[in-house]
Structure 1
Amino acid sequence: MNSAIESVVAAYVQTGQLDVLLDLKAHRERLMATVRDRADFNFGVLLGQLEEDIGAIEGGIRRLRAAAEARTDTDR
């Protein structure tokens, strides 16, 4: 079963929304930076999930960029 983020990424890839994926990745990275340096609680599980989310988002970004590059190559 796909995770929620994988479903979200798939929808954005299908609709070609690279800018939204880049924003989503930046948001996850900001969240990681916010909790990484906190000493009052162990955020290990959250950090692991954020890393997985970023990986899924990066996969979507790569797919969209590859599709855009393929279109550019075809237009030549």
Structure 2
Amino acid sequence: MSGAIGLIVDGYVSLKDQKALDELRIQRRKLIADLNACTGIDCASTIQQIEEDIVVIEAGLARLDGATTS
């Protein structure tokens, strides 16, 4: 899914849509919290993938920050 999230982030960065990126990050963090609350299921690989998505989203936000400060 990182390839897909990368394309989504690239699109939002090109549109300079920081709000959408922030919402994506918030949604991913909520997913992690929900998965951590699950019992009886091993969600470690899913959580790892979502954490990788957050890294991609934060990189996109950093690119936006760099573009606005230049």
What TM-score, normalized by structure 1, do the two folds share?
Answer: 0.86
- Alpha-carbon shift at residue 38 of structure 1 (Å): 1.7
**Runs of 4 or more above 2 Å deviation:** none
Distance 2:64 2:40 in 1: 39
**Equivalent in the alignment of 1:27:** 27
Give percent identity, aligned residues only: 30
**Equivalent in the alignment of 2:14:** 14
Partner of 2:55: helix, strand, or coil?
A: helix
**Equivalent in the alignment of 1:36:** 36
Over aligned residues, Cα RMSD in angstroms?
Answer: 1.0
Could you tell me which amino acid in structure 2 is paired with residue 28 of structure 1? R
The Cα offsets for residues 20-53 of structure 1, whole Å up to 9 and x where unpaired, read as 0000000000000001132220001110110000
Could you tell me which amino acid in structure 1 is paired with residue 10 of structure 2? A
* Bigger relative contact order, structure 1 or 2 (CA pairs below 8 A, ≥6 apart): 2
The Cα offsets for residues 45-66 of structure 1, whole Å up to 9 and x where unpaired, read as 1101100000000000000011
Distance 2:46 2:58 in 1: 18
**Highest Rg: 1 or 2?**
1
Task: Tell me how many residue pairs correspond in the alignment.
Answer: 69
